Structures are given as structure tokens and as C-alpha cells.
Structure 1
């Protein structure tokens, strides 16, 4: 049997030198020939700040293009961070799925690719697969710590939380990797913190980083296709707190009063079985009771018809809800979380979250 052919080099070219001290603002340039630009490119902004030896943080936003807290915090950091502030290296990519970010869509308008389901990617694949391949084979191997910002995009709104994963592999190194990630979650200092257990993590950026042994942290900060002053502040403060805790920035991490949530099973999720106009019976952060209505779904095709009642599958607090008001069959309408003690008081795996929807 012949050996498999080696992977070709990535077609993406970086206009920055990752090993040079100082600050560089440049692009990842991916050739993309199209009707309106025969020798065109997809250009992804990138900043590299390096000062001597030390850990490397890879900071990313707009993995999904309609999520804005991360890009806002990262464009701000790229404009303000100075080499003398850094020990080691910071790689900042505010919009890793640049085509989706420019279009304000979750997936790429070029190939409909969901970047967070496209890893490890292919150097000879679609535009989205080529971007995933570059992160997989070039950027992730450089990193010690990875922070990937997410929020609810145009179809969900979350209580703002920071999270890391319960890792499925065994061994002392894996447990140390997992513990370090949860330390950085706590340092981030979001109002809520979650220990996530992914049920189907195939193709995710998260999985690619974790399987390389990287310390991976993520967020869900608001949503609704916009960002608020509060969620932007949480993103900016949390970003700097994490870099301090990682030993890359000088300073102290303030003690934050984060609240831990458990999302242990599918009973946390409420799905629409029919389309209609949703009326929520609770707001984000409100308590809900198992069996009681969390939402009512009104049919829109005729008047005089009673709404369908959608009960909570467990008691807790409403930590995510669907936006906008018109829903389709199969849409996730709500997520209920159960508040638990701080991570240091937990037994077993602690809070968990079912895989990210969609």
C-alpha cells in the first residue's frame, strides 16, 4: 500500500512575521478568484505583538460572522496593546471568518461553510476549509492559550458567560490542561461561568485546539445580532484579565463574583415543534419551574387559535432565548441552566453544557 500523499502547503500568505519582536498589523491573504475580481483575495486582518520569550495567546473573534463582542474587544486590543506591555506573544484575529463577518451572517456567503464545523480543514478545499486548515496547521501550533469569543448571533441571546470544556481523554497532562482552562475561565470574570461537556465536538475549532494540548477558553456573551455596552465591557475586561492570568500581561486579576451554571442534559433545551410567533413567559435570568410554561407559541396563519404551551424540562434560570420573534420548526427557543456552587465546591465533572446548537 502506497503512503498517503503529503498535504500541500496552505495557499494563505501572512504579511506579518510571527517571530519578530514589536507590533505588526497585517493580513492573512487567501487567493480567491471570482466574477468581480479575477485575481482577488480574501484578506483577514491580523495583529502580532511580541516581546521576547514567553507564552503565546491566540485570540479570535467572528468564528461565526454575526457575533460582535469578540471583534470589538479584539480590534480595541490590537489598537492599544504595546510590545512593552507583553511578555511573550499575542496573535489577534478579530474576524477569523472574514467573509461571514463582512456579510453579517453566521456562515460564509461564499460557500455556506460553518467555520466552527470545518476543522481540520483542507488546503485544497473550499474557502472556509482553507481558513480552517491555516489555523489548524499554522496558528494553533504556535499557541499556548486560545481564547475564541462567541455570542448568540442573530438567533440566540445568552446570559453572558465564559466557559471551558470537560476533556474526554484521560491522563495527568489532560487533567492539568483542563484545570488550567477553568482557572482562566474564573480569571476572565464573566457574570456566569460554565464547564462545558460537548456531546458532538467533531469539526470544532475548540476540539482542534484541545487535541493539540492547548488551553482553550470560549464565551457566549449576549447576542441578538448586536452588542451592548455591558457585554462589550465584559469582553474587554475579561480579555485583559485572561492575558494577565496567562502571564502575558503585567497586573493583577480582580476577584470576580462569577456564578456557575450547570446544563446537564437535553431537558435544559426547549425546541419548537411548529412555527409561529413566540411569547416568552420569563426573561433572561428569571427563575423557571419544571413543567411550567417557559414560552407560548402562537400560530400565525389564522386568528382564534390558542397558542401551544412550551414547558420547561427542568427548574432553574433562563440562560438563553431565541431571537427574533418568529420561529420555525426545530428552532431552539430557550435554554435553562441550574445554578450550582463555585467550581471549588463541586464534585464530579461539575457544570456541563450540551453541544452548541446549529
Structure 2
């Protein structure tokens, strides 16, 4: 007789927290996910978490390393977890510096366990792969607790960005306006109305579909963090928490310039592989159909480089990193500067 499996929504999450999300004060612990492997039959994935409860204000869910090779968020969040005092907090902070901990520990975008891209794995499955189980716990346990979600990103090893804070254009204009108010408070050098080209399964979408105020960043790239970009992350994090009513203090206002990504023409893709030479630096102006880069074939000498053209006018807000590209790689992103 065929035995029917229960739907994922009825299967309990295998993740357990060693912290009490309702307890007052500061707690440091882990989200523990059993993971049987060759070197530890009864092993676990241990995702560090800090919870700070003090006051009746909103709950802020703060995450980094959704992709494991992006470092500004983990720097700011590990620092906040180590230094925050309960009396500074007027609500609840749930701090998870490395939500895809296996990828973070390996320094890779995706998980070395199952090659899962956490930011394309929502809503997840409690009976799925390790990455799907992590996504499911965020979907069913952590996101419902949150009022505000800040998910730090940067370009990782394959992109470099102008440092910006961003939110999405949404059908619910009150939700959208609240998100952009926090983007403005974050105070990155650039602020962006962001368009996603691969939004299926994203953490962003999961949070926004629940009505949460969702803010994200792209703060540089190249698989490292600079003193400047780490500083932007630290300062912006506190500014956002103060503006959201989750921490005490005054927002330290910073000038920001606004970018819009109105359509798919913002993205330029390589149709050929090879050595890329950029003809425009980040932040530089671009005209429609202007060559932004050229790609040298590397299999032999004597071949002319192939130009990659911008599909719209604006400025160069992101570029491929490092110097070798493959067909289909995103080479450049063109944003339109707008009034804030």
C-alpha cells in the first residue's frame, strides 16, 4: 500500500534554537541543524545567533552572508552582537551574521554541502536539503516574528557595486514607503529602487509577501570588505535600527544619491567568454548603446575584442569581477540617477 507523505507545512523543522527568543536581556547561541556526514555521524550545522530583548518596540531580524562570500554584513553584525547593551534596545534584535553558515565558512556563494543558493531556496522544505531546511526555518519561524528585516549583501567574488542600500517597488505603497524611509535613514552613499532579474525563491520576496518591511544592500564586492564599506555597514545598521524604533539614539544623517533600476535594460550580459576590459569605471556616465566593456578571446592571439554595449543611458552601478568572464555572465548594471 502506498504511504502518503505529509505536506512540508505539517513536517516540523529539524532546526532547534539554543536561545529563547522571548527572554529579556542578551543571549548568544546557535540555530542547530542536524547534519550527518562522513566525519561526524551525529553532526550539526551550527548557525550563530544573538537575541537582544529590551522594551516594547519592533522586532528587527538582521542577517548577513545569505551568500557566503559577502562580508560587510557579517562584520557589522558580529560587531553589533559583541557590543550591544540591553539598555540601548527598545524592542527585539535577532542577529544572525551568517545565515548560510556552511557557505560563509567555506567563503563561497553557495553551500559546499548541497550547492544550494539560500537566496533562491525559499520557502524551503523541512525535509529537503540542508539549504532548504535553513530557508524553511527562516520562512516558518524567524520571519513571522519580525517587523523589520535587514539583509546585507555585496557583490561577492563575481561583482563589484557602488555601495548602496535598497528596497523594492511594491504593490502595497505603505509597505514600500516604510521600506524606503529606512533606506533613507541607513544613509549609504547611494540608495536604490531595486529591480531583481532572478526573484524566484528569494528571501526578499518571502519577507515582503508576509508584509514585512524589507531592506537590503549591495556594499562593494570582489570577495572582500574595505574599511570604507565595512564602516558604511556599521553606521547604516545603527541608523536603520534607530529609525525603525528598535534602538535608542539619533540617526547620523548622511548624504545619499538615488538610483533607479526601471527595467531589464539596466543589465548587460556577456555573449562571449574571455578577458574583460572595462571602458567605464564605477559611477561613470553611460550613454545608450555605448560600449561599456570589451572581451578579448583568450584561446589565440590576433583576434579583435568583442564590445559589450549598454542598453540604456545612466551610470555604471555594478560591474563584473574579476577579469575573466563566461558567456551569460552579467557584465554591467546601468542605473538611472533620480531625485530621492
Q: Quote how far apart the aligned CAs of 1:140 are.
A: 0.6
- Work out which of the residue numbers 126, 129, 142 in structure 2 matches 1:126: 129
Q: How does 1:131-142 map to 2 (within 5 A)?
A: 131-142=134-145
What CA distance in whole angstroms lies between the structure 2 residues aligned with 1:197 and 1:327?
23
Q: Runs of 5+ in structure 2 lacking a partner? A: none
Q: Which digits, 9 at most, give the CA deviation of each residue in 1:164-217, with x for residues without a partner? A: 11113xxxxx32111111100000001111112445532111111111111000
Partner residue of 1:146 out of 141, 146, 149: 149
8 A Cα contact 1:7 1:123, kept in partner: no
The answer to whether 1:65 aligns with 2:64 is no
Structure 1 residues 177-326: aligned runs within 5 Å: 177-198=175-196, 200-326=198-324
Residue 266 of structure 1, CA deviation: 2.4
Deviations 1:44-92 (A, max 9, x none): 0000011132210000000000100000000000000010110110000
**Is the contact between residue 100 and residue 109 of structure 1 (CA under 8 Å) also seen in structure 2?**
yes
Pairing partner for 2:84 from 81, 101, 124: 81
Q: Distance in 2 between matches of 1:13 and 1:110?
A: 19
Give the structure 2 partner of residue 34 of structure 1.
Answer: 37
> Residue in 1 aligned with 2:328?
330
**1:17, distance to aligned residue in structure 2 (A):** 0.6
Offset, 1:255? 2.6
Task: Note the C-alpha offset of 1:3.
Answer: 12
Distance in 1, matches of 2:203 and 2:33, equals 19
Mapped contact 1:271–1:331 kept (Cα < 8 A): yes
Q: Which residue of 2 aligns with 1:161?
A: 164
**What is the root-mean-square deviation of aligned Cα atoms in Å?**
1.4
How many residues are aligned here?
A: 336
Change (3 A) 1:9 1:212: same
Q: 1:115 aligns with which of 118, 124, 127?
A: 118
TM-score between both structures, scaled by the size of structure 1: 0.91
What is residue 109 of structure 2 aligned with on the other side? 106
SS, match of residue 57 in structure 1 = strand
- 1:234-293 residue CA offsets vs partner (Å, 9 max, x unmatched): 000000000000111111213321111122222221111111100001111111222222
Answer yes or no: is the 8 Å Cα contact 1:117–1:204 preserved in 2: yes
Give how far 1:233 is off.
0.5
Separation in 1, partners of 2:189, 2:176: 21
Q: Secondary structure at the match of 1:116?
A: helix
Counterpart of 1:109 in 2: which secondary structure?
A: coil
Runs of 4+ in structure 1 over 3 Å off: 2-6, 197-200
| Structure 1: stretches of 5+ with no match in the other structure | 169-173, 343-358
- For the 8 Å contact 1:288–1:317, the answer to whether it is kept is yes
The worse-fitting range, judged by mean Cα deviation, of 50-59 and 150-159 is 50-59
Asked if structure 1 preserves the Cα contact closer than 8 Å seen for 2:287 and 2:314, the reply is yes
Larger mean CA deviation between 193-202 and 34-43 belongs to 193-202
For residue 47 of structure 1, the aligned residue among 44, 47, 50 is 50
Q: Tell me the distance in 2 between the aligned counterparts of 1:193 and 1:214.
A: 19
Distance in 1 between the 2:224 and 2:69 partners? 8
Range moving further from structure 2, 256-265 or 221-230: 256-265
